[in-house]
Amino acid sequence: ANFGYILSGNLSGTITSNIYRITGDINVSASDLVTIEHGTQFLFDGPYRFDIYGILIVQGTETDSIIFNNLEPMTTEPWRGFNMYNQSEETIFDYVRISGGYKNSYEGDGGGINMTSSNPILRHVKISDNVTENSGGGLNLSYSNPVMNHVIIENKIALENGGGLHLFYSNPTLINVTISDNASIDESWDGSQSPLWSGGLYLYNSEPIIVNTIIWDNFPE
């Protein structure tokens, strides 16, 4: 595809609806507020991160989601997902699809989203087909209490705990959330003993509020 729009580095202001080829790490600085318009696609052309320190409003619509994915579906250098730091409820993801993120063992947790001390609002978000070599294939939450409403977490893999969602000292609110078809895979496991990890949801010193939420068909259960 021929992209007239290439992005990397610091974002600012409003990102107008378009398809963008991402050619480097993306950053929202602590003092900035960035809005991404509905219908926008960020397609990453390499192993780049999306780091959020400021406020990010990703506002799709029911018929026009905002998509974060790889430029090439079968790439050997996938993008590295989101990293949120010290986010408040001013950061909102609404009608968003996050796919194809990957973090290796050096890059931390949360293949799709890694949250640190963050309390954003996620509504109508689908987080699918992300991988981490650590914990939280879909999302990893550390000291974070987001509100998640109508969120789907599926087809994630973690090589440690929590294929779908990993909670560490975190108390999120999960309403109408589906966590399905996720896996935690310990490469040293030979199948003879009980696995010590959780495929769908893993909690460590965490007390989530869970309402009308489905957790099914994850490995291990």
Mean of the per-residue pLDDT values for the chain? Answer: 91
* Cβ neighbours, 10 Å, residue 86: 16
| Rounded Cα distance, 146 and 220, in Å | 25
121-170 confidence digits (pLDDT tens) = 999 999 999 998 888 889 999 999 999 999 999 987 777 777 789 999 99
Q: What is the pTM of this model?
A: 0.93
| Rounded Cα distance, 164 and 113, in Å | 11
Q: Token pair for residue 83?
A: 């990293």
What is the number of residues in the chain? 221
The gap between the terminal CA atoms of the chain, to the nearest Å, is 41
| Rounded Cα distance, 6 and 98, in Å | 19
In this structure, are residues 135 and 109 in contact, taking their beta carbons and an 8 Å threshold? yes
The pLDDT-based confidence of 97 (bands split at 50, 70, 90) is very high
State residue 181 phi and psi, 5-degree precision.
55, 40
- Across the chain, which distance is largest between two alpha carbons, in Å? 55
29-68 confidence digits (pLDDT tens) = 999 999 999 999 999 999 999 999 999 999 999 999 999 9
What is the average per-residue pLDDT within 84-101?
98
In this structure, are residues 210 and 172 in contact, taking their beta carbons and an 8 Å threshold? no
| Rounded Cα distance, 15 and 41, in Å | 10
| Rounded Cα distance, 84 and 56, in Å | 10
What one-letter code names the amino acid at 150? Answer: H
